[in-house]
Amino acid sequence: MNHIEKDADNGRLQSFISLASRTIIKIGSHNFEIYDIGPKDILCPIICLPPCTCDATIYYELQLRLSKNGFRIISINYPRTYNANEFCESFMRLIHELQLTAVHLVGSSLGGFLAQKFYLYSMHMDCPVKSLILCNTFTDTSVFASHTSSRFMWLMPAFSLRMMVEYPAVANDADDATKLAMSMAKSQLNSMPQADLAARLTMNGMPDAVDVKGLQEADIIIIEVGDLDASYREHFGSVNRAYPNAKVAHLELGGQFPFLSRAEEFAAYMEVCMTCFILVLFLASSCYPCVDKDTLAYCLTFPARYIQYLEIGDFLSSPIFLPFKANSVFVPCQRNFRTRIDLVGHI
């Protein structure tokens, strides 16, 4: 991969490449490239779906941080599918091939759109989506409608396809992490094969929309970024409007790729989200349970809506105190609490 060669001096990226299990899995006529890191006996992993013009390694910082804390986290490169339904069918077969019992999906841009579509696709199947973590994404592809019909993108040369992609300019006063994240994304775009880019842009530009009514009971966390320009904030804000009961986390800075430029904060929010799937297991025995990393990694089961109030203690790298309620904003602070839970509703 050219972008990996260009970033050869990035020790953490090289560490990820050496630690993650990279596999190409053939599903029918489609090939999935996956990077799998963390304990392989966890059968309900986190799966990251990349933005339209980025590949799986865009999530390398997130994967390194979460796997260090005992999570199994997989990033994928899309097969050459040309619509969301075709992707969902192949993705479900991939999950069965990996013998997973359930998944948590992280998605940005096209990845977030496909995560929502797959949630609906899998609702009545034997491998449910436990939660969605959405960032800088959308519910309707109409805004990306191309002047060139999506049906003909597969015929276009790579340089023409790349010219169709417009990244917003990075502000002059943006920090180095935000600039480097944008640089890596552009490098991945420029090194992406024509057939892969054509398939992704076709899915991104094909008229389609998520049936958001079907996701109102889903466990969704939206991670929003404060330094996007007005047009992107308006477009991505449609996700907030679509899911009024979603939990909302706010990053003041981070740009288009906060899971890379603000990986530590992004990972902390994800850990909070994942923790809410396990802590209810301990309510019967104690009001103030101690949760270790092994338990955190192995018991991702119950939905977050049963937790109303949460204090997270030592087992997170950045301790967090927060009200875990619908529409709340998570604000990290450097305080050190034991775990406390108040249960709302019944399992």
DSSP code per residue over 20-49: SEEEEEEETTEEEEEEEES-TT-SS-EEEE
Work out the pLDDT band at 185, boundaries 50, 70, 90: very high
Q: Is 145 inside any structural domain?
A: no
pLDDT in the model for residue 146:
57
User: Averaged over 302-310, what is the pLDDT?
Assistant: 36
Q: Nearest to residue 293, comparing CAs of 30, 38, 27?
A: 38
Do the beta carbons of residue 300 and residue 341 sit within 8 Å?
Answer: no
pLDDT recorded at residue 166: 79
Q: Name the pTM for this structure.
A: 0.78
- The first and second tokens of residue 148, run together, are 């060139």
Overall number of domains in the chain: 1
pLDDT for the residue 346: 28
Judge whether 186 lies within some domain: yes
In a domain, 10, yes or no: yes
For residue 154, what are the contacts with CB-CB under 8 A and spacing of at least 6? 82, 195, 198, 199, 202
For 47, the token pair is 């799966």
What's the CATH code of the domain at 101? Answer: 3.40.50.1820
Q: How confident is the model at residue 198 (pLDDT cuts 50, 70, 90)?
A: very high
Average pLDDT of the residues in 205-214: 93
**CA distance linking residue 277 with residue 274, whole number of Å:** 5
The tokens describing 330, both together, are: 């998570």
Tokens (6 digits) for 344? 């709302």
Q: Taking 60 as the threshold, does the pLDDT of residue 328 lie above it? A: no
Note the Cα 98 to chain centre separation in Å: 19
Question: Residue length, the chain?
Answer: 347
Q: Where are the beta strands (DSSP E) in the chain?
A: 21-27, 30-37, 46-49, 73-77, 103-109, 129-137, 220-225, 247-251, 307-311, 321-323, 329-330, 340-343
Backbone phi, then psi, for 296, in 5-degree steps?
-55, -40
The residue segments making up the domain with residue 263 are 2-140+168-191+208-275
> Over 80: is that where the pLDDT of 182 sits?
yes
d(CA 140, CA 137): 9
How far apart CA 147 and CA 292 sit, in angstroms, is 53
Mean pLDDT of 207-228: 91
Domain membership flag for residue 248? yes
- Sheet architecture: strand order including 340-343: 321-323, 307-311, 340-343
pLDDT (tens digit per residue) in 75-127: 999 999 999 999 999 999 999 999 998 899 999 999 999 999 999 999 988 77
When pLDDT is cut at 50, 70 and 90, the band that residue 276 belongs to is low
Name the amino acid, one letter, at 199. Answer: A
The answer to whether residue 239 sits within a structural domain is yes
Least confident interval from 52-61, 160-169, 309-318, 334-343: 334-343
Residue 163: predicted pLDDT: 84
Answer yes or no: is 294 within a domain.
no
Is position 131 within any domain?
yes
Domain presence at residue 331? no
Percent of the chain with pLDDT over 90: 48
Question: At residue 49, does pLDDT exceed 80?
Answer: yes
